[in-house]
Structure 1
Amino acid sequence: MSHYKTHRSHRLGWLRAAVLGANDGIVSTASLIIGVAAASASHHSIILAGVAGLVAGAMSMAAGEYVSVSSQLDTENADIKIEKKSLESDFEYEKKELANIYQTRGLEPDLAMQVAEKLMDYDALGAHVRDELGFSKRRSANPVQAAVFSAGAFVIGAAMPMLVTWLVSETQIIPFVAGASLLFLGTLGALAAYVGGASVIIGALRVTFWGALAMALTAIVGRVFGVVV
């Protein structure tokens, strides 16, 4: 009987960027639209504000993800350089250090040293990068991928409340955009949780709650400043 397991950890990079982008796209754009609508702006002004928010948000997400992930990658590369120099200056010490790591994971001292010797004979730097620093090539950061996924997901997410705004009349914008956006957020949270192997209900409730809070606060601000102005 075959035994097959499907792990989801390899999805963490693109899944995080995509979910974050789509979630921000829905929440920020819907909140902006609702806030402007609550200030009694015209239908044209509301759509214009939404489009501006979509473009600015997508670029912000792309730049933010690229810079963030690039910084992470720079830190990893710096640590790898340090490890490479340590191997060149004191190979035996690094071998003992690796053996000690394996001992803490349950191996007997002699066996831990044998494993360290074998792995370092095969790929000394790779062994230390993986087992001492905890870096994995499979899960290595990719700035461009993160930026593209995040920006693309933001545009898709922002397009949802924008489409609703375009289709309904000026007086219907707030209830329709709020309701549709909460539905979109719940679906997104459930889908992300399913792909990641987590609780679908918790995933849906989590993003829906924060989205509802953001839209409610923005509506209050729009109403107050709309009256003042």
Structure 2
Amino acid sequence: MASLSDVQITIPKDTQAPEKEYFDYSQMAQWLRAAVLGATDGLVSVVSLMMGVGAVIYGIAVMIFTGFAGLVAGACTMAIGEFVYVHSQLDIEVARMKRNKRNEKHVEESEKEQLSNLFQAALAPALAFLLGALVPLLATVFIREHKMSLIVVNADVTFSLVVFGSVGAVLGKTPAVKPCARLLIGGWIIMAITFGLTKLTASHGL
């Protein structure tokens, strides 16, 4: 007579618990990095342009138009640059697959799938840049006094840099102090250099 320990219970495959689907966090990190970099780039580059022009030309309208031009040019540059970069990566991957003499149908399906992601890759940094660039522009639109606009823009950008750093840290599950400090100090340095060099150039009549 067999004991209970000798009895083997076989669980049908249909009733076994399904394995958890693997989630690629590295892909999410790449999108997060592109979004944070795009927003930060839009914020810092546009406000630096506005600060540089505001250092030598006393007029709110001029600062706003300068910022708007920087917003449009920067967003388009981010979109086109990312599109070209991702497309180049796709060309390399497709060429490698063809060299390895893989199934032509598999190559075509992979190429179509990646092509659909090219426009997403181009749109994401452009929108992020646009949102970042709107921060100093919106802060300036409602202010008429030149010096006050510079103060408000600086305060607004400082707050936004801290927010961007914090959001990136929270989504990436990392401590927030260092990313915020890096963004804040880097943004201040860029604005100071742009403002200072523009002021210096204007003072020497160049």
Q: Does 1:224 find its partner at 2:190?
A: no
Q: Does the Cα contact within 8 Å between 1:21 and 1:153 map onto a contact in 2? A: yes
Match of 2:181 in 1: 205
TM-score norm. by structure 1 comes to 0.70
2: CA distance between counterparts of 1:83 and 1:209? 48
Q: Which amino acid aligns with 1:20?
A: L
2: CA distance between counterparts of 1:153 and 1:70? 20
Match of 1:170 in 2: 146
2: CA distance between counterparts of 1:140 and 1:190? 33
Q: Does the Cα contact within 8 Å between 2:90 and 2:114 map onto a contact in 1? A: no
2: CA distance between counterparts of 1:221 and 1:41? 17
Q: Deviations over 1:10-35 (max 9, x none)?
A: 31232122112101110001111111
2: CA distance between counterparts of 1:81 and 1:172? 61
Q: 1:173/1:226 Cα in 2 relative to 1: closer, same or farther (>3 Å)? A: farther
1:54-69 maps to which residues of 2 (within 5 A)?
Answer: 54-69=71-86
2: CA distance between counterparts of 1:205 and 1:140? 37
TM-score norm. by structure 2 comes to 0.77
Q: 1:29 aligns with which of 46, 66, 71?
A: 46
1: CA distance between counterparts of 2:140 and 2:69? 14
Q: Deviations over 1:33-74 (max 9, x none)?
A: 111111133111111111111111110111111111111121
Q: 2:125 aligns with which of 150, 154, 165?
A: 150
Q: Which amino acid aligns with 2:98?
A: K
Q: Which amino acid aligns with 2:32?
A: L
Match of 1:132 in 2: none
Q: Deviations over 1:89-125 (max 9, x none)?
A: xxxxxxxxxxxxxxxxxxxxxxxxxxxxxxxxxxxx9
Q: Does the Cα contact within 8 Å between 1:14 and 1:145 map onto a contact in 2? A: no
2: CA distance between counterparts of 1:176 and 1:76? 48
Secondary structure of 1:84's counterpart equals coil
Deviation, 1:209, is 1.6
2: CA distance between counterparts of 1:150 and 1:171? 32
Size of the aligned set, in residue pairs, is 178
Unmatched 5+ stretches in structure 2: 1-19, 108-112
Q: Does 1:16 find its partner at 2:68?
A: no
| Percent of aligned pairs with the same amino acid | 36
Q: 1:183 aligns with which of 159, 180, 186?
A: 159
2: CA distance between counterparts of 1:181 and 1:191? 15
Q: CA RMSD in A?
A: 2.7
Deviation, 1:7, is 6.4
Q: Single out whichever of 63-72 and 11-20 deviates more from structure 2.
A: 11-20
Q: Which has the higher contact order (CA 8 A, sep 6+)?
A: 1
**Greater share of residues in helix:** 1
